[in-house]
Structure 1
């Protein structure tokens, strides 16, 4: 049997709620993956997850990594644990699909990507939106000059307040809103404006009681002076949007980061005497990302895999620039 056709035997490190709601159903349904085991430091939690998704429970992450019949791991641990367990998984010979952000530090991100390359392993950060067909369609519209020359873009990812015990309010573990939400508009700027985006200024708003960043705004610029106004936060109404301003018009999309698989995206084009809504096909961005991961892990190749690694590295550097340049406000 062609080894590239056999299912990728996958384990899960951690029992995050996001993994249960979003990623494990995709992993369990993907023909290219055989979901083998889920590990937790809590035996009862591992058992619940394993029963729900038809796999075996494992007590402890090290025990799962030691299993010789695991080819790859999905890692939905809190952000501040990503670097440690991604490195352990790579050194155990496993391909890794890690939740975003890959790490909170550009040096750590670069080191892990280099380690994966040296060992011939795939390390992919779970940023799914570039795998949705709507973004290729938007790029084509922009390239066709539907709004003329692009002068700037704005992107936002904001959500309502979370319960007090939410991990995002624990900066020592969850990293706060910049790492959880801010990376999306930052990645969108890289995706649409190119790799040489730089941060010009930023504001980070933190909670005095927890020390966690709960919102922020970023001004970035690409070569040639195209600007990006990037907003994020978890003290807002729900919004995931991207808007492009051009020399003759505007193009706007909603639900750009979290569209359900059956959602029909709508691109709204406005010019001086023209209003148009362009309905785009539905797509499953998580399914697309998982298929990309499987193909790359099984064949050693994957269209855009190197570009994704480069984007993860540049994203980490931009996050550091935000932290270095930000005006900080505590409320």
Structure 2
């Protein structure tokens, strides 16, 4: 049976309710404060630990739930946000969809095209939304960049270069655990790869990829991927977990270059700078301050309310999973195989 959609005609009856499955750091620092300011009503947070759930819920004035399944049973929860370890995304997204809930999955959503397509098929069968959380795309600096490129500010786009690197942290952390879906490609590489797809044509070719593994940690700690679309535009994506912090991409065209200096993780109060170079002139354009997590929860809410907005999110989830799987396959010497497993 299909779930009845929360469409705009019902919006006056009550606000759509959202629950959070897991009390990850990203949820507590960025997501939960944004949900409180979004059109959603924050119903509950769930943890496997009642004590942890109570601690987080008390800070955000919502219900504390011990156990993820119990949260999915709450009738006021129309949608869920899943910031669990990567290895648990697919299972809990499927369970949430089976329970009739719309789903926002923290990036990277899933590791294979097959899994992405299965989740999308289930969502569409139930009349639901499944969406991947690339919050950075909701920051207005990317709208500015796309507009400048579309208006010919750098001429014809020739190449994209994206870089995201962060310093090493506690090796016991989730990002370093292979069995939890850790590693540089999934943790930080997904950002420049996803940004590249805003500028390249569909289904870009993977020309090459490489991952550097730490034998003690058992995961990749740095890597690179080179892509090319059908028009010959290339994308170089570099990433790592053992670098000084860098979060940038630039767009190189026939008549200029555009650089976003703080592309992926600006704070909500920051005004990132876009640097536009045209011949012998350079312009610095300040983007407005913006909470990109508020932006993504607003977009998620809008798509929950409007079924017509969902196909684009479903397509983006599948395309990202498929491309990431091909990048990993190339890096592991499997050519253009679509396998996303090591």
With 310-319 and 282-291 compared, the bigger mean Cα shift is at 282-291
Q: Return the match for 1:76 from 65, 72, 83.
A: 83
| Aligned 1:178-193 pairs, distance under 5 A | 178-193=185-200
Q: Return the match for 1:54 from 61, 64, 85.
A: 61
Instruction: Report deviation, 1:2.
Output: 4.8
Q: Is the 8 A contact 1:4 1:299 kept in 2?
A: no
Measured on the aligned residues, the alpha-carbon RMSD in Å equals 1.5
Distance 2:144 2:225 in 1: 26
Q: Return the match for 1:266 from 265, 273, 288.
A: 273
Distance 1:272 1:291 in 2: 39
SS of the residue corresponding to residue 179 of structure 2 reads coil
Instruction: Report deviation, 1:39.
Output: 1.0
Distance 1:284 1:160 in 2: 23
Distance 1:25 1:221 in 2: 38
SS of the residue corresponding to residue 199 of structure 2 reads helix
The gaps in structure 2 that reach 5 residues or longer are 1-7, 334-342
SS of the residue corresponding to residue 244 of structure 1 reads strand
Distance 1:289 1:18 in 2: 14
- What do residues 2-58 of structure 1 show as CA deviations (whole Å, max 9, x unaligned)? 52242111111111011100101111222x211111111111111111111111111
Instruction: Report deviation, 1:73.
Output: 0.9
With 15-24 and 168-177 compared, the bigger mean Cα shift is at 168-177
Q: Is the 8 A contact 2:166 2:243 kept in 1?
A: yes
SS of the residue corresponding to residue 12 of structure 1 reads strand
**Partner in structure 2 of residue 121 of structure 1:** 128
Distance 1:223 1:285 in 2: 31
Distance 1:266 1:33 in 2: 31
Instruction: Report deviation, 1:260.
Output: 1.9
Distance 1:292 1:267 in 2: 24
SS of the residue corresponding to residue 144 of structure 2 reads helix
Q: Return the match for 1:8 from 3, 12, 16.
A: 16
| Aligned 1:277-288 pairs, distance under 5 A | 277-288=284-295
SS of the residue corresponding to residue 193 of structure 1 reads coil
**Partner in structure 1 of residue 329 of structure 2:** 324
Give the structure-2-normalised TM-score.
0.91
**Partner in structure 2 of residue 105 of structure 1:** 112
Distance 2:82 2:124 in 1: 18
Instruction: Report deviation, 1:79.
Output: 0.5
Q: Is the 8 A contact 1:148 1:246 kept in 2?
A: yes
Distance 2:90 2:50 in 1: 24
Q: Is the 8 A contact 1:187 1:311 kept in 2?
A: no
Change (3 A) 1:52 1:268: same
Mapped pair 1:23 → 2:28: no
Give the structure-1-normalised TM-score.
0.94
The gaps in structure 1 that reach 5 residues or longer are none
Mapped pair 1:313 → 2:318: yes
Instruction: Report deviation, 1:327.
Output: 5.4
Distance 1:46 1:174 in 2: 24
Mapped pair 1:276 → 2:277: no
Q: Return the match for 2:307 from 282, 287, 300.
A: 300
Q: Is the 8 A contact 2:54 2:64 kept in 1?
A: yes
Q: Is the 8 A contact 2:262 2:273 kept in 1?
A: no
Q: Is the 8 A contact 2:37 2:294 kept in 1?
A: no
Distance 2:305 2:332 in 1: 45
With 290-299 and 79-88 compared, the bigger mean Cα shift is at 290-299
Distance 2:251 2:311 in 1: 27
